[in-house]
Chain A
């Protein structure tokens, strides 16, 4: 290739790039990995003639760190409930007033006046679920409705357990295991929590994601993980059973928010309104298998989600579930230190 053709190719490449960028609107979504239905994105792109890019993150802290660092180029982020107040306090979110949007009437009353966003001035429900136990019943046949599965694992499961690497969920279950309350500062109890986790960790195989692939394949025999992912595992491998930790389990909701420095805030608002439509909300759930917070979306859900044991909490375990709240910065700092102690 001589320099002339080289230059011509480069010029064409530049043209092609700028051409596509200028064609229509854009929307950059920053969301948890393996969480966004490509069909939903395609439908939104077609409906509003917007090019959507989805980028993954793997934890609330990663997302927060990246956006705080600046220069990220994202419009939308999907933080968990207990992190939303931090995002708001740090001045990272746009007050998009989704409560005044056309489709807001579809949001289930249960999810309107929520503690992290009273009256929904910033965020729109994406999905909600809980952390529970998934066990391969071929490996272990005992009681799985307990956090002991990963905190005091039975011999059959030692060395085959995967625990989600999300600090708040793991600490919540362990604090509840010792009868404490979330956000407690009781040092004696927290010491027990730390010692138990330090003792239990060598009995785990990993603290990783990709459960939907490795649990059904037999790489993990048990997990402490989010219910939707365990449902997806069970669809692939019917031996996977779901347990609700009777000592206490955390409930989460991830909500869609618009970043203050978004470059495409109007498209982001369109997206907010779009996902509050029952049919579209059902698309979100159909992929990641968690419940959404939109009334009337049940009618559009795929058959394998209706009456799924992972999504239908039995009456006896309903009380054990509790919403993760944001603890004070001091308590959070204490918890982070415990978590770092465990993760070393």
Chain B
């Protein structure tokens, strides 16, 4: 006869088995569609490049990885650090970080505003925030061209008002990319921020005021620590797609101000260097993973403090 402990253990393994079975469809899709291709990429990054794109199968080569970080001069074969790649990496990191900070600055008051509305009107505000998602990203990016180009809305308006007499060159600059990314990714910041602010117990804020805390002090010591999970979730949602942005720098940056996404695309297209493209893709992924780990560790620490 089984003891009570044994029955319990059996029940437990039963539950565990059922959990695995239930999650199997999702896991299979993830492994086949996401992890599988990653191994293909990894394999490609260690092969020799083909003459007109593609790779030479079975020919091991470290050239792809070498070229991610170093470059050999076309003419005298001296090896230097691949400053071009580093400067593109730096541009991507810089623009993504600025985008994240700007979306926090713009998204925080927006989310706070929505969270402090009466319950039945909040839904309408959230609904309004999601409206841009109805239109395809590509179309919105091209629409933005019409706003910032030399004969576009902003320049026409500023000239009509007599503020400038020469059009401001916004198109094809880093500013245009930044403008586009902030616009596109802002809802991804507002929504998680709102989700955590909605749960905020506003009595704590009142208590803060009762204990003679100033407005800033309430914000820094009560509101921000409590909605930190929302800020972190929003930052992840904004930072990661920004780092790999392709369409926005392509359309608004004019094909000259490359970001990592464009650099990768170039290797698979006119650069005809698939191993390098694969190696850069993996580098980008590692970067994202490091950033994520950093965020998650930070988040769990703060969770322990405030939970």
Contacts and interface: CB of A to CB of B under 8 A. Distances in A.
Contact of B150 (A187, A208, A218): A218
B174 interface: no
Contact of A68 (B52, B151, B270): B52
B51 A190 contact: no
Interface in A59-91: 59, 61-62, 64-65, 68-69, 86, 90
Given A205-B172, A206-B254, A218-B150, A190 B75 contact: yes
Contacts of A55: none
Interface in B251-307: 254-256, 258, 266, 268-273
Interface residues of A, number: 38
A207 interface: yes
Interface stretch (A18-26, A174-182, A248-256, A329-337): A329-337
B151 A217 contact: yes
A65 B85 contact: no
Contacts of B270: 59, 61-62, 165, 167, 339, 343
Contacts of A159: 169
- What's the dominant secondary structure at chain B's contact region? loop
B49 to A, nearest CB: 9
A68 B254 contact: no
A236 interface: no
A339 B266 CA distance: 11
A151 interface: no
Contacts of B254: 162, 205-208
Q: Which of B172, B258, B270, B272 has the most CB of A within 10 A?
A: B270
A206 B172 contact: yes
B63 interface: no
A194 interface: yes
Interface string B136-150: 000000000000011
Interface string A311-330: 00000000000000000010
A341 interface: yes
Contact of A61 (B51, B53, B87, B255): B53
Bin the interface of chain B by size.
20 to 34
B74 A344 contact: no
B2 to A, nearest CB: 44
A104 interface: no
A340 interface: yes
B151 A206 contact: no
A236 to B, nearest CB: 13
A90 B255 contact: no
Contacts of B105: none
A207 B269 contact: no
B88 interface: yes
A76 to B, nearest CB: 20
A218 B166 CA distance: 12
Contacts of B74: 190-191, 194, 334, 337-338, 341
Interface in B50-95: 51-54, 74-75, 84-85, 87-88
A199 to B, nearest CB: 15
A61 B151 contact: no
A191 B169 CA distance: 32
